[in-house]
Amino acid sequence: MNKKLLVLMIHLLAYSMTLISCSNVPPKVYIGGVLGAGIGTALGHQVDGTDQSRIIGAIVGAGLGTLIASTAGKSSAERPPLKPTNSNEEEFPQLSSPRLRSIWIPDKIEGNKYIKGHQIYIIEDPGTWKKE
């Protein structure tokens, strides 16, 4: 095998290990790289059938597959949810925030029970409609 080709394969291996260790890379990038490498290997074999052409085909295919997959459209999980648009739908006024009061109840012992200190929240003024 050619020395340049061996160096190129080592760089590709190092690049792929770096990519695998990166946790924020979406799975579609890995799938695109693997599919591209497979297709590139097949096309490289069709060129002249040598190992060198298959390896070059795999490297080019993996690079292109990764690039295409990473720039492909957003998945449905990454898209913001769609708001229903209905022209007959009315606009509603805003609601104001309720006013709350909190009371701290300290630790206490009642008979054979231990009650740990806690907060009690009381709604003093519920939210009301407001116009903007």
Record the pTM.
0.41
b/e map of 30-67 (b: 16 or more CB within 10 Å)?
Answer: bebbbbbbebbbebbeeeeeeeebbbbbbbbbbbbbbe
Largest CA distance in the chain: 90
Confidence (pLDDT) at 111:
94
How many CB atoms are closer than 10 A to CB 29? 19
Confidence (pLDDT) at 74:
59
- Smallest CA-to-CA distance from 96 within 124, 66, 74 is with 124
The percentage of the chain sitting over the pLDDT mark of 70, rounded to a whole number, equals: 68
Query: Tens digit of pLDDT for each residue in 60-116?
Result: 887 888 778 777 765 556 666 666 665 555 677 788 888 999 999 999 999 999 999
